[in-house]
């Protein structure tokens, strides 16, 4: 649906609008004084409008458009109402039909709209933003995180008193996190925090979701103090969401608090918080978030001692269905397949584990560093269980190198810890002790001398 004239005016450059009004008046051979008499706009005001010193209001614009025989939308954007409606319709249709398995057509539509705007000299920033947003969503769905980040930077550069601006910041932070640029993911939220307050957006669901998205980056970075800080951020966000009566925001906060508890090793608390968040999401019918949260909850079931693999498999199977229905990104579906492989492995179904892991690898983008690292960890686990310890260490070193390079030392330690447990189960006690030692080193622990 096209925005109204007032919205178009708010987004337009007064200098450009003024130049178009002067050109329309001259093309209609109407003197300034005659236009003022016909429209009731005084001479001084018309001069200010044509010079771009102030924009016209909607009444002034409508009167000027009628006398110059030019549509108001053309004076503001350079495009007729019909063209604006057609371009908006193309974007809306592409957004609805977008899925994680076919994003190329959405990218093509976004490209065509942007090319047409540029070729026509039109000034329709709302359409340019929507086209770039669609393209960013399609690129993220296809796993092209760096290209998605480029588009998201363009559409978030100018703060707006609009919840959609917050949603775009969330997408930007998430893409940075998925590509392993954790410091940048954190900066997206922290550098805009004061602006969000000044714009009066801090009591919205999207503002709280941005805060917990930043907390998730702290969790993945997991340096000294990060996990505690992330947990406190999430619980403060949950309290704020409760205070403002925002159930979806509260679910998001509890979800990330659950993830922080999981990384800290408090699996019971993680599972409890995750199930609370899942109940809130189920009430709101948010299919994509529900699928991703089910995946994390399945992970928590697998981390129980002993693992609740059957419960995890049921949760992960349902998550796969929800993510597919929601048109989730390649990264999200790949992660679901990866955790599904772990569930199959715990249940002793090695063939099914290999199949799920192969699907995950095929979907994982090259720049999804954290996901690729856990892929190598699973390959190491499979190699260890079949007694190929040389291959085990090769995969482990690949995983640890990736995680260390992007600052996720806590995850690197978890990699060694997880495989150490596999070695212990196999009776390879010396290898288990070595892996536990490496886990401690990755966390910054050193023997006292």
DSSP string, 273-331: HHHHHHHHHHHHT-HHHHHHHHHHHHHHHHHSSS--HHHHHHHHHHHHHHHHHTT--HH
Q: What pLDDT is recorded for position 100? A: 54
How confident is the model at residue 408, as a pLDDT? 67
- Of 447, 373, 354, 367, nearest to 415 by C-alpha is 373
- Mapped onto helix, strand or coil, the DSSP state of residue 3 is coil
Identify the CA nearest to 222 among candidates 265, 175, 272.
265
- Residue 79: per-residue pLDDT: 86
Give the residue from 271, 263, 273, 266 showing the smallest Cα distance to 238.
273
DSSP 52: T
Q: For position 1, what pLDDT does the model report?
A: 45
- As given in the structure block, the two tokens for residue 67 are 């006398």
Phi-psi category of residue 29: left, alpha or beta, with phi > 0 → left and psi -120 to 50 → alpha: left
**How large is the angle between the packed helices 226-244 and 247-264, nearest 10 degrees?**
160
Helices within 309-428 (DSSP H only)? 309-325, 330-346, 350-363, 369-385, 389-405, 409-425
In order of their start, the domains of the chain are 5-78 (1.10.260.40), 286-367 (1.25.40), 369-449 (1.25.40)
CB under 8 Å to 44, separation ≥6 — which residues? none
pLDDT for 153: 97
Q: How far apart are CA 296 and CA 254, in angstroms?
A: 12
Give the CA-trace dihedral at 308, 312, 313, 317, to 10 degrees.
Answer: 170
Structural tokens at position 119: 């070729």
In sequence order, which residues have a C-beta less than 8 Å from that of residue 417 and are 6 or more positions away? 435, 436, 439
Q: Is the pTM of this model over 0.85?
A: no
Q: Which two tokens stand for residue 118?
A: 């540029």
- Give the phi and the psi of residue 78 in degrees, each rounded to 5: 90, 0
* Residue pLDDT, tens place only, 334-374: 999 999 999 998 999 989 999 999 999 998 888 788 888 88
What are the residue ranges in the chain where pLDDT is below 50?
1, 449
Contact 346, 307 (CB under 8 A): yes
pLDDT confidence of residue 449: 47
Q: CA dist 399 to 123, 228, 393, 403, 412, Å?
A: 48, 25, 10, 6, 7
Report the alpha-carbon distance of residue 230 to residue 331 in Å, rounded.
23
User: How many residues make up the chain in this entry?
Assistant: 449
Under 8 Å between Cβ of 408 and 222: yes
Summary count for the chain: helices (H), strands (E): 25, 0
d(CA 368, CA 179): 5
The separation between CA 85 and the C-alpha centre of its own chain, rounded to angstroms, equals: 28
* Axis-axis angle for helices 409-425, 429-442 (nearest 10): 170
Please tell me whether residue 255 adopts helix, strand or coil conformation.
helix
């Amino acid at each position: 649906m096209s925005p109204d004239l007032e919205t178009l005016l708010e987004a337009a450059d007064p200098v450009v609008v003024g130049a178009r009004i002067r050109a329309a008046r001259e093309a209609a051979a109407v003197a300034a004084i005659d236009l003022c008499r016909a429209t009731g706009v005084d001479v001084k005001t018309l001069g200010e409008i044509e010079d771009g010193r102030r924009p016209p209001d909607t009444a002034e614009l409508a009167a000027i458009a009628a006398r110059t025989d030019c549509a108001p939308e053309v004076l503001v954007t350079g495009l007729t109402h019909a063209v604006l409606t057609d371009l908006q319709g193309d974007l809306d249709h592409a957004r609805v039909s977008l899925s994680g398995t076919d994003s190329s057509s959405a990218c093509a539509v976004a490209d065509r709209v942007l090319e047409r705007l540029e070729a026509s000299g039109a000034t329709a920033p709302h359409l340019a933003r929507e086209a770039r947003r669609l393209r960013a969503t399609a690129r993220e769905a296809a796993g092209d995180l760096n290209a998605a980040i480029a588009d998201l930077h363009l559409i978030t550069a100018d703060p707006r008193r609009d919840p959609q601006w917050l949603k775009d910041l969330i997408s930007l932070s998430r893409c940075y996190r998925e590509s392993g640029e954790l410091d940048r993911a954190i900066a997206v939220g922290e550098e805009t925090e004061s602006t969000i307050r000044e714009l009066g957006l801090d009591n919205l669901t999207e503002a709280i979701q941005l805060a917990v998205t930043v907390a998730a980056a702290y969790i993945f970075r997991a340096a000294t103090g990060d996990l505690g800080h992330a947990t406190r951020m999430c619980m403060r966000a949950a309290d704020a969401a409760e205070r403002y009566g925002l159930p979806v925001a509260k679910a998001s906060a509890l979800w990330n608090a659950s993830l922080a508890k999981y990384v800290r090793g408090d699996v019971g608390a993680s599972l409890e918080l995750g199930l609370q968040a899942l109940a809130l999401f189920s009430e709101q019918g948010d299919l994509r978030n529900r699928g991703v949260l089910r995946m994390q909850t399945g992970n928590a079931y697998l981390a129980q001692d002993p693992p609740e693999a059957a419960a995890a498999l049921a949760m992960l199977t349902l998550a796969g269905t929800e993510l597919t229905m929601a048109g989730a990104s390649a990264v999200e579906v790949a992660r679901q397949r990866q955790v599904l492989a772990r569930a199959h492995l715990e249940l002793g179904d090695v063939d099914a584990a290999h199949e799920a892991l192969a699907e995950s690898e095929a979907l994982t983008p090259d720049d999804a560093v954290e996901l690729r690292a856990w892929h190598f960890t699973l390959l190491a686990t499979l190699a260890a269980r079949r007694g190929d310890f040389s291959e085990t260490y090769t995969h482990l070193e690949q995983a640890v190198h990736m995680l260390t390079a992007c600052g996720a030392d806590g995850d690197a330690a978890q990699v060694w810890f997880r495989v150490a447990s596999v070695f212990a189960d196999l009776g390879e006690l010396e290898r288990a002790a070595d892996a536990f030692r490496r886990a401690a080193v990755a966390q910054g622990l050193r023997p006292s001398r």
